[in-house]
Structure 1
């Protein structure tokens, strides 16, 4: 395209639909003034938009800040200001409770700039947006899983990041939440005497969430479920692991009493999956 006429040609193309619409409707008076600026986007310098966005953010005008940051990205794509605006806009949306918008912006940043300095923050904001949507343990936990996945990216990809410590804490909370959900389902099956289904859930807690607060109850429930099925060697093994790790707990006392009612005692079983799980439980308690 001839550079001399490039700007005029683009403006003409923008105005053609307007002129056509006026000709067809015939509604506009010849004496009416037409403000062409109403039909043409105003392009502002990237630094001006960015500083306006920051001012809005600092003043607590989160919606306005998010719009300005978005405008930087739209009007000046792939610029340095656009790169920074993606994460700052995500933060503004997150603070405003617009979690979907925040995640959309962080995902765009990660796709375009996976190795830039703000990438750790983008993953962190993603995790926070999902974290704030974690429901109670009785409901579906997809947000919990997404939150954990985002925080894991921070921990694994950016181990020296300032966001690692908080990410680890929120991962622990999320894993505890998932374990709690498994326990809830396991209790449901146990109450209905569906012992096989209950054991599957409780075993999952012991094997996958050994460093959560739910593992203690899970071992006691396993003792109860195995005992009810007549699989006494596994019931004894579950109680033995429980006693080794939580000797003073009420769960262990109840499990011991249950076994005693049948003339049994806690006993390790070398061939049981529980013997392998015992080491992970001990390690989890030590924070490994």
Structure 2
């Protein structure tokens, strides 16, 4: 099973949730979440509705083993496969080995913190070019980590929008404001998200469970949805053979969802100060929607 790593960095890289990443594989259906990608329309149709040009539609691969959307691109001229990690607070994270092998200019060292404890440092480096599916993204400094995957996140998408269609493996990255017609409606949820102080770009949205409202971190790098361990204990949710729990009646706007197998994690300790999430919304839920991160207007849009 994959470690909980490589995602949102709380004080630094890797104190986050992105590597919840266990895939469904061949485990019993009652214990795992089957990915069921869904989109409300064809890529060409939703691109038109959302104001993207035909040339802004790009392809990605939804890795169902890791539950992550991977794009082909390049970093400083090096061909790279990068997944979009909405919880990546640094904009670009690559394996430390790349920095060493390519001789990229190191600009400093960043502490590596796990569970609030420093475990070492990883080099930051100068970014001369970053392209994702042929789209050049502006960022000048990236960071590295001990893993073997690369990811990009909010800082490199500042002021832009990105839409993910998991069902068709298509996406769009735009630099124009979304049309005014993109408003809440039948089958569409539009939420103004909040970000904790010091973690701009982290997407926290309101959810409801059991009649109470809770914040949830939306994380495209997390393969499964997670619930805070203490909250699960308060509710008396019994772990299954995988140490997960069944989460029923998760309400996101007009959508009511069941999560057959939610991971137990210390979600409420992800940030040093409020607002604090109680859930992480991972790919097992996100793939059921057309998902748009409107970083220009601070909105998350789910449509199905």
Q: TM-score, normalised by structure 1?
A: 0.22
- The structure that has the greater radius of gyration is 1
Greater percentage in helix: 1
Q: TM-score, normalised by structure 2?
A: 0.21
